[in-house]
């Protein structure tokens, strides 16, 4: 599956009516909104399905509202709501006077809504650290017993590059992220992997902040060295503790520096650099 298709699918399943984790399972709400919401969600789901099945391709025009509502067997207002929801996710766009189109579906386009969430609430970075600690310490413990020799080699390679690229934040970040991803792969739990992928773009936003801080990069090299050694020793407890220590270090340094508001992002550093 392409990253785009996977993204659409993941986002779909987060709001989809058949997802066991979806909000539709929460019982006590007034009758009318649930029903209407469910119809809208289902309609949005079907439009996404048409995109996944390539019946609608990037850049193509959606049928007019009336036709679409007949195709989907829903009211025009539900069709309009579904279009609105997908527009907020940058999957569809309304062109004034021309109708509704599927966007380019480029990854940059699709992650905009998540970036927006992070931009309006930078304090989300702290619950995000909590979430990472829960997911990544567990992943590291599983990985310690399941990691393959090839994956250990990959970790070592990324670690070597991490050390080399300490003064190059964008490249440093790529290898930092690659190490964390290898650990999720090595954990060998498909649900954990999916969970991680669904928050990945939010994590990237947070890393763009922390990766811009030279001190955090230096600390990360020490921490990742510990994580690598613990996994090489195939020690679940030590691996888990090393990941926890790493995330604690990054988070507390960020807090000491005044939080994400006071910190430039890696892209900003990059732009400044290019400008000189």
Q: Is 176 in the site for Zn ion (CB under 5 A)?
A: yes
Where does this chain touch Zn ion (CB under 5 A) — which range of 44-52, 82-90, 171-179, 262-270?
171-179
Q: State in angstroms the smallest separation of the CB of 186 from Zn ion.
A: 15
Q: Which is nearer to Zn ion, 176 or 251 (CB)?
A: 176
CA–CA separation, 85 vs 95, rounded Å?
Answer: 16
Q: State in angstroms the smallest separation of the CB of 189 from Zn ion.
A: 20
E strand intervals along the chain:
92-95, 99-102
Q: Which is nearer to Zn ion, 81 or 176 (CB)?
A: 176
Q: Which is nearer to Zn ion, 68 or 266 (CB)?
A: 266
Q: State in angstroms the smallest separation of the CB of 254 from Zn ion.
A: 13
CA–CA separation, 265 vs 191, rounded Å?
Answer: 30
In angstroms, the first-to-last Cα distance of the chain is 40
Q: Which is nearer to Zn ion, 150 or 248 (CB)?
A: 248
Q: Is 251 in the site for Zn ion (CB under 5 A)?
A: no
Q: Is 45 in the site for Zn ion (CB under 5 A)?
A: no
Rg (CA), the chain: 22
Where does this chain touch Zn ion (CB under 5 A) — which range of 15-23, 43-51, 168-176, 262-270?
168-176
Where does this chain touch Zn ion (CB under 5 A) — which range of 73-81, 109-117, 170-178, 196-204?
170-178
CA–CA separation, 4 vs 9, rounded Å?
Answer: 8
Strand partners, 93: 101
Q: State in angstroms the smallest separation of the CB of 224 from Zn ion.
A: 6
Contact 105, 58 (CB under 8 A): yes
Q: Which is nearer to Zn ion, 48 or 207 (CB)?
A: 207
| CA distances, 276 to each of 173, 210, 213, 264 (Å) | 22, 23, 19, 17
Contact 202, 124 (CB under 8 A): yes
Q: Which is nearer to Zn ion, 152 or 178 (CB)?
A: 178
Where does this chain touch Zn ion (CB under 5 A) — which range of 22-30, 40-48, 173-181, 184-192?
173-181
The footprint of Zn ion on this chain (CB under 5 A) covers a number of residues equal to 1
Sole residue written with tokens 């604690």: 248
Contact 52, 11 (CB under 8 A): no
**Quick one: which of 91, 127, 85 has its CA closest to 109?**
91
Q: Which is nearer to Zn ion, 113 or 170 (CB)?
A: 170
Residue ranges binding Zn ion (CB under 5 A)? 176
């Amino acid at each position: 599956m392409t990253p785009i298709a996977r993204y659409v699918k993941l986002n779909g399943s987060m709001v989809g009516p058949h997802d066991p984790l979806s909000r539709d399972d929460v019982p006590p709400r007034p009758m009318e909104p649930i029903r209407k919401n469910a119809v809208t969600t289902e309609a949005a789901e079907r439009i996404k399905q048409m995109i996944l099945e390539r019946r609608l391709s990037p850049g193509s025009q959606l049928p007019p509202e009336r036709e679409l509502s007949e195709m989907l067997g829903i009211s025009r207002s539900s069709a309009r709501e579904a279009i609105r929801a997908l527009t907020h996710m940058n999957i569809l766009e309304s062109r004034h006077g021309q109708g509704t189109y599927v966007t380019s579906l480029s990854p940059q386009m699709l992650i905009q809504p998540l970036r927006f969430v992070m931009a309006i609430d930078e304090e989300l970075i702290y619950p995000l650290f909590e979430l990472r600690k829960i997911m990544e310490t567990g992943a590291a413990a599983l990985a310690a017993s399941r990691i393959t020799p090839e994956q250990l080699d990959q970790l070592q390679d990324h670690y070597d590059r991490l050390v080399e690229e300490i003064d190059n934040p964008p490249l440093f970040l790529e290898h930092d992220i690659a190490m964390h991803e290898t650990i999720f792969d090595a954990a060998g739990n498909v649900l954990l992997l999916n969970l991680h992928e669904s928050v990945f773009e939010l994590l990237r936003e947070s890393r763009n902040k922390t990766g811009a801080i030279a001190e955090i990069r230096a600390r990360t090299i020490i921490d990742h060295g510990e994580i690598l050694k613990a996994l090489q020793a195939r020690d679940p407890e030590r691996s888990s503790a090393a990941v926890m220590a790493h995330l604690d270090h990054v988070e507390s340094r960020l807090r000491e520096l005044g939080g994400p508001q006071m910190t430039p992002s890696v892209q900003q550093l990059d732009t400044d650099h290019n400008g000189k």
